[in-house]
Amino acid sequence: MGGAGSLMFAIRHGDKVAWCRSQVGVHIPAHSPHFRGSYERMWGRVDFACKFEDGNNVWDYFSDDWYLRTYPNREVGYLVFANGKNDRAIGWRQSLEFFRALQDTKRPHVFVWQMRGHGSSPSFPNLSGARRQGGLPMDIRLDQSLPAFTHCSLDDDPGTATKRPKPKVFPKPPRGRAPVDHYDGDSEGQANLYLFWETKDVVDEAAKWEMTVGLTPPAPKDTCTVDVTPRRCQAFKPKPGERFKWTNTSVADAKVVQSGTVTADKWGLITLKQVTVTKAKNRVAIGKDK
pLDDT of res. 193: 97
> Amino acid identity of 119?
G
d(CA 90, CA 94): 8
Q: Please determine, for residue 171, whether its predicted confidence score (pLDDT) is greater than 60.
A: no
Q: What angle do CA 129, 231, 151 make, to 5 degrees?
A: 60
Sequence letter at residue 72: P
CATH number of the domain located at residue range(s) 195-290 in this protein: 2.60.40
Least confident of 113-122, 125-134, 154-163, 238-247: 125-134
Local confidence band at 166 (pLDDT 50, 70, 90 cut-offs): low
**Does residue 137 have a pLDDT over 90?**
no
Q: What are phi and psi of 253, to 5 degrees?
A: -130, 5
CA quadruple 35, 33, 176, 82: dihedral positive or negative? negative
Per-residue pLDDT tens digits for 45-72 = 999 999 999 999 999 999 999 999 999 9
Q: What type of residue sits at position 270? A: I
Give the rounded distance of the alpha carbon of 8 from its chain centre.
Answer: 14
Residue 215 CA to residue 211 CA, distance in Å, equals: 14
Q: Taking residues 238-261, what's their average pLDDT?
A: 97
pLDDT the model gives residue 233: 98
List, as one string, the DSSP characters of the chain: -HHHHHHHHHHHTTTT--EEEEES--SSGGG-TTTHHHHHHHH--GGG--B-TTS-BHHHHT-HHHHHHH-TTS---EEEEEEETT-TTT-HHHHHHHHHHHHHTT--EEEEEESSGGG-------SS--SS--S--S---TTS-EEEEES-TT-------PBPP--SS-PPPPTTSPPP--BSS-SSEEESTTEEE-SSS-EE-SSEEEEEEEE-TT-SSSEEEEEEEEES-SS--PPTT-EEEEEEEETTT--EEEEEEEE--TTS---EEEEEEETT-EEEEEEE--
Residue-wise pLDDT for 119-135, tens only, equals 899 999 998 877 665 67
> Which residue ranges make up each domain of the chain?
1-123+156-191, 195-290
Q: What is the pLDDT of residue 289?
A: 79
Mean model confidence pLDDT for the chain: 93
pLDDT band at 279 (very low <50, low <70, confident <90, very high): very high
Spatial CB neighbours of 290, under 8 Å, sequence gap ≥ 6: none
pLDDT over 70 at 27, yes or no: yes
Bridge-partner residues for 114, per DSSP? Answer: 84
On the 0-12 / 13-18 / 19+ scale of CB atoms within 10 A, 133 is middle
pTM of this prediction? 0.93
Q: How far apart are the first and last CA of the chain?
A: 50
